[in-house]
Amino acid sequence: MTTRAIRAARLFDGTRTTKNPVVYVSDRTVVRVTHDEPVAPDVDVLDLGAVTLLPGLVDAHTHLVFDASTDAVGRLQAVSDDELLRGARVAATRALQTGITTVRDLGDRGYVARRLRAELDAAPHTGPHVLAAGPPLTSPRGHCWWLGGEVEGVDAIRASIAAHAARGVDVVKVLATGGEITPGTRPFLMQFTPAELAVAADEAHRHGLPAAAHAHSAEAVAAAVDAGFDTIEHASFLTPDGAAADDAVIAKVAAAGTVVSATLGYLPGQPVNPRSAALSATLTAIFTRQRRAGVRMIVTSDAGIDPSKPHDVLPYAAEMFLLFGDEPETALRAVTSDAAAAIGVGATKGRVAAGYDADLLAVTGDPTTDITALREVQAVFRAGVRVR
């Protein structure tokens, strides 16, 4: 196998920053990382110049079958699964071109994202690595019922998760509360009992799968922690009147070590969900309290649901993380090594180190001091192949 050396001015390897790295790549894998060392004359060298090299970004909450249009749900309901697959390919390509080399799709219809993963596994350089949940579990006519995951009662939950596992999903997604994009549901109301959530998490784990809970209310967040879910999506502490932090529940999340997936980021110039816009300052304060309490948090996007959240919006989400009082390097970990670990791929993704996949991003400037540099993409490598 041919070994190639990649030079850059700086390296953020997923944990720390160093200067003048040389990253050796063989086939699809990083085999060695050195600094300020000459390269053997028989090794091909790609000198990227005055850039920062990073691991490819990890978006641990996206929706590839939503097209980020003004009526993403309506469009999804109107087209076939084959058309959804074509759109998912476009979304995945857009993500890859901005340096997102791993995505976790947390809700599709007809296991479309699983079909896309099979395609991309056969030709990794054509798209990001995809982890797929399939249709998320929801109550009858609950949030996202139109994706096909309606269940009622513990027996149906067990049967649905077994069916998901048989289809080869990578994670089980459960909608513990309602959501903004499904009329008739409320994000501050529970859709399952705590006992049902416990069965869902246990059954996912019995099949060797992580479990992710969409949970907006304090009650749902607490129930998801008690049930043993691996990640809590959103954790926005919504109430009938707005949003309000619950310090006892936040302490529970921190003590359990459960990861909160903060679905952040909006594309400038696009309309934002009115409720989210109205609650922006309050939600920032709530996430800040979670961080100060020691809650483990990663940065995700919820991409695809509307025009403000296209599938390449994750760099803007990383910028928002700084509003919670964190430093740029912490934000970078939240979209690389911490995110990869949270979704179970931390042994091969999210780092630039020997033995890790050669999924790399090069940007102009230094995102460890100016996080906006993440948007200045100069090169992207997927499975050792330069795709931009």
**In a structure prediction context, what are the per-residue pLDDT tens digits for the chain, which is 388 residues long?**
689 999 999 999 999 999 999 999 999 999 999 998 899 988 999 999 999 999 999 999 999 999 999 999 999 999 999 999 999 999 999 999 999 999 999 999 999 999 999 999 999 999 999 999 999 999 999 999 999 999 999 999 999 999 999 999 999 999 999 999 999 999 999 999 999 999 999 999 999 999 999 999 999 999 999 999 999 999 999 999 999 999 999 999 999 999 999 999 999 999 888 878 888 999 999 999 999 999 999 999 999 999 999 999 999 999 999 999 999 999 999 999 999 999 999 999 999 999 999 999 999 999 999 999 999 999 999 999 999 9
CA distance 131 to 113: 8
Helix (H) or strand (E) holding 25: strand 21-26
For the record, the structure tokens of 291 come out as 């961080």
Q: How many residues does the chain have?
A: 388
Token look-up 């310090």 returns 247
Residue 386, Cβ density class (10 Å: 0-12 exposed, 13-18 middle, ≥19 buried): middle
pLDDT attached to residue 1: 67
Would you say 250 and 215 are in contact if contact means Cβ atoms under 8 Å apart? no
* Burial tier of 334 (Cβ tally within 10 Å: 0-12, 13-18, 19+): buried
Q: Do residues 175 and 146 lie in contact, with contact meaning Cβ atoms separated by under 8 Å? A: no
Q: Say if CB 340 and CB 349 are below 8 A apart.
A: yes
Name all domains of the chain by residue range, CATH numbers in brackets: 3-55+350-386 (2.30.40.10), 57-342 (3.20.20.140)
Return d(Cα 65, Cα 304) in angstroms, integer: 7
Q: Tell me what pLDDT residue 368 has.
A: 97
3-state secondary structure of 142: coil
For residue 117, what are its two tokens?
């993963």
Whole-model pTM? Answer: 0.97
